[in-house]
Amino acid sequence: MAPIIRKGYVDTSDGQVHYRRTAGDVAPPIVLLHQTASSSQMWEKVMRLLGGEHELIALDTPGFGQSDFPPVTPTTRYYVDRLLEALDGLGVREFHVVGHHTGAVLGCEMAVVAPDRVRSLGMVGPAYLDDNDRRTWRRLAIDPMLIQPDGSHLQKIWKRVTGLDPNPSAVLCHREAIDTLRAGERWHEAYAAVFEQDFPHFYAQVRCPMLIMCGPDDVLWPYFDPAKRARPDAKAVVMPGGTYVCDDFPKEVADEVRAFVEEQAG
């Protein structure tokens, strides 16, 4: 029987953070962080496969899903601080963290700024970008949405979400488009924060066990080999599919996360 995914809100100093949570017998919990401009909904299939074993908490990053918008232009550190504050409010001290794309960037920084709390770090599509890569991505990927009277912004968002993976399903793209529209004219702020962060700097400082995953159709696939070379101590797994791997191959993701977390338990 699939576990019940309960939803709720937790207060932080800058408003509420929305979360999805399943009960589990194995502690500490696994915290799941989503990509831009998605929400914790992207983790539901994986949660149904892992829930009941491990306690799972999937958080909506401030400004996405049903979380409140930041009162300031956010940095990655801002996001990390608010998410840690949300976990404090949920009574969670130590945890494993698994992040996808933007979530991987935030999880990596989280492991560095709160090493006493993060037991292990899993990353789907680690964004191992050097300065030139970040400049290129900033130019190509940051395309703020302006709400237009003729609705042309809707087609623009549809083109964006359908272009992240080869032949994604219309149902999946519909969900991702809604999440992007919910984030509205501020959806790009997370990308801007990511491209300001020096990911290799934080990646080199992580001291907890690491699992890195990526598939050949992922938009971040070109950076997977550099990530492996930079941290040969990380467990590296080539996944099927691409950017939407958590929806298209949830069993494979769940199996890798389960095995890795159980390895840390000894």
**In 10 A of CB 7, how many CB atoms?**
14
Total-model pTM: 0.97
- pLDDT over 90 (residue 103): yes
State residue 161's pLDDT score. 96
Cβ contact 230:158 at 8 Å: no
State residue 34's pLDDT score. 98
Q: What is the per-residue pLDDT across 73-86, written as a single tens digit (0 to 9) for each?
A: 999 999 999 999 99
Helix (H, G, I), strand (E, B) or coil at 49: helix
Amino acid making up residue 191: Y
| % of the chain beyond a pLDDT of 90 | 93
**pLDDT interval class at 266 (50, 70, 90):** low
State residue 27's pLDDT score. 87
Ranges of H-type helices in 129-249:
131-141, 152-162, 170-183, 189-196, 199-205, 224-230, 245-248
Cβ contact 107:33 at 8 Å: yes
Least confident of 51-55, 135-139, 149-153, 236-240: 51-55
